[in-house]
Amino acid sequence: MTAKDISFIIPVYNRPDEISELLQSFLFLDGNKDFEIVIIEDGSTIKSDEIVKSYNDRLNITYFFKPNSGPGDSRNFGMKHAKGNYFIILDSDCILPRGYLSEVLKTLNKNFVDCFGGPDAAHESFTKIQKAINFAMTSFISTGGIRGKKNSVDTFQPRSFNMGISKTAFKATNGFGNIHPGEDPDLSIRLTKLGFKTKLIETAFVYHKRRISWSKFYKQVNRFGLVRPILNVWHPETKKITYWFPSVFCLGLLLALLLCFFKEYWLIMCYLGYFFVAFIMAMVKTKNASVSILSLFAISIQFLGYGSGFLKATIRLMSSKSKIEERFPQLFFKL
C-alpha cells in the first residue's frame, strides 16, 4: 500500500479556519503527496470553498457541498465518491504531525487490517482549557482513553476523529448510521460482527483541538452518555459494568457530601484521594499546574455529563416502548 491508495475523508460544518490549519499540516507530511483529500461541506452557512481553492495547486483535493445530514452521512458520501481503496477519516479540528501517514502505511503494510484507529494528543499551542479537556478525554483515570487494548485487535473500537477503513469494509457495512454521536462505535461493532479486524496504531496520533467551552464540553459528554444505553440495546453483547461508573461516581459524591453533615468523612476522603491522583497524573503529562487544576474541573464535568446522560437514557429506555428514534430525536439525523 502506498499514499496513492489513500483517500482522506473530512466532513466540515461552518469551520473554514480549522480546514485551513488541517490542510496546512498535510503539506508537511513525510513522503509523497499522492493521496487524495475529500472535503464534504455539510450544508455550512460559512463555507470553506475559498480556503480549499487556495490549496488546490499543492494538494489533490476533491470538494463537495451537500445539504446538512450529519457527520456520519457526510463521511459515507465522501467514501462513495473517493478514488482510493483505503479511507482515513478525520475531524476538521485535527492537525496532523509530520510522520502521521508514514506510520499508518508502515503498520498496514506490515500487518494489514480493514479498520484502524489512532489516539489524539494536545499540541503545545493549545489553550489551557483545550489541554485540560484533552487530558480528561484521553486518560484512563477518567471516562476517556482509548477503547480496547493494543494487543486486543478484535475488540478495539476506533473513533472517527482519527479512523481508517478499507473500501471493502465500507461496502460490507454501508458505513456510518444516522445516530450522532455514537455512529463510530456502532460501525466498529458491526465491523467486528462481520469478522473484520480492527487495530489501534498508537504512533498514528493527531492533534485534536476540541474547540469547545466548558458548557459545550458538558453537552458533548452528556450526549455520549445518552448514546451508550442505545448502543447496548442494539449490541447487547457489548454491555459492560464499567459504563455505569460515571453515574455511580456522581451518586457516590452526593452521598459523600451528605455524610459530611453527619460527621462521616471517610467517603469524601476517598474522592479527595482520587482527585489527588488525577492531579498528579495530569502534572506528569502536562507539566503545568494550572492545566492540571483545570483537568480536575474537566474530569468532574465529564463524569457529571456522561453519568447523567447515561442514567437518563437508561430510565427512558426502560419506561417506554416507542421506537428509539422517537424517544431520542435529538440524537438522529433524518436522511
Q: Beta strands of the chain (E only): which ranges?
A: 6-12, 36-42, 61-66, 86-90, 94-95, 115-117, 120-121, 162-166, 198-200, 206-208
Report the candidate in 96, 91, 101 with the shortest Cα–Cα distance to residue 34.
Answer: 101
> With bands split at pLDDT 50, 70 and 90, how would you rate the model's confidence at 265?
very high
CB 80 within 8 A of CB 176: no
Q: Would you state the cell numbers that stand for residue 211, as one nine-digit string?
A: 474547540
Pairing state between β 162-166 and 115-117: antiparallel
* Separation between Cα atoms, residue 38 and residue 83, nearest integer Å: 9
In this model, does residue 317 exceed pLDDT 50?
A: yes
CB 186 within 8 A of CB 232: no
Residues 80-99 have pLDDT tens digits of 999 999 999 999 999 999 99
Half-sphere exposure of 183 (CA within 13 A, CB side): 23
Q: Would you state the cell numbers that stand for residue 324, as one nine-digit string?
A: 428509539
Please give the pLDDT value at position 10: 97
* Owner of C-alpha cell 513525510: 30
Please give the pLDDT value at position 247: 96
Question: What are the CA-CA distances from residue 128 to residues 18, 212, 221, 286, 301 (Å)?
Answer: 19, 12, 19, 10, 16
Report the candidate in 40, 42, 41, 36 with the shortest Cα–Cα distance to residue 8.
Answer: 36
Residues 54-82 have pLDDT tens digits of 999 999 999 999 999 999 999 999 999 99
Stretch 306-334: mean pLDDT: 91
pTM, full prediction? 0.90
CA 3 distance to own-chain centroid = 24
In this model, does residue 218 exceed pLDDT 90?
A: yes
Mean pLDDT of the chain: 92
What are the residue ranges spanned by the domains of the chain? 3-118+158-211, 225-328
The percentage of the chain sitting over the pLDDT mark of 70, rounded to a whole number, equals 96
Residues 127-186 have pLDDT tens digits of 999 999 999 998 888 865 544 444 444 467 888 899 999 999 999 999 999 999 999 999
Q: Would you state the cell numbers that stand for residue 54, as one nine-digit string?
A: 487556495
* Phi, psi for 175 (deg, rounded to 5): 75, -150
Stretch 290-295: mean pLDDT: 97
* Separation between Cα atoms, residue 98 and residue 29, nearest integer Å: 4
* Phi, psi for 58 (deg, rounded to 5): -120, -20
Residues 18-62 have pLDDT tens digits of 999 999 999 999 988 899 999 999 999 999 999 999 999 999 999
Please give the pLDDT value at position 147: 43
In this model, does residue 112 exceed pLDDT 90?
A: yes
CATH number of this structure's domain 3-118+158-211, picked from the four choices 3.40.190.10, 3.90.550.10, 3.30.450.70, 3.20.20.450: 3.90.550.10
> With bands split at pLDDT 50, 70 and 90, how would you rate the model's confidence at 123?
confident
* Separation between Cα atoms, residue 11 and residue 109, nearest integer Å: 27
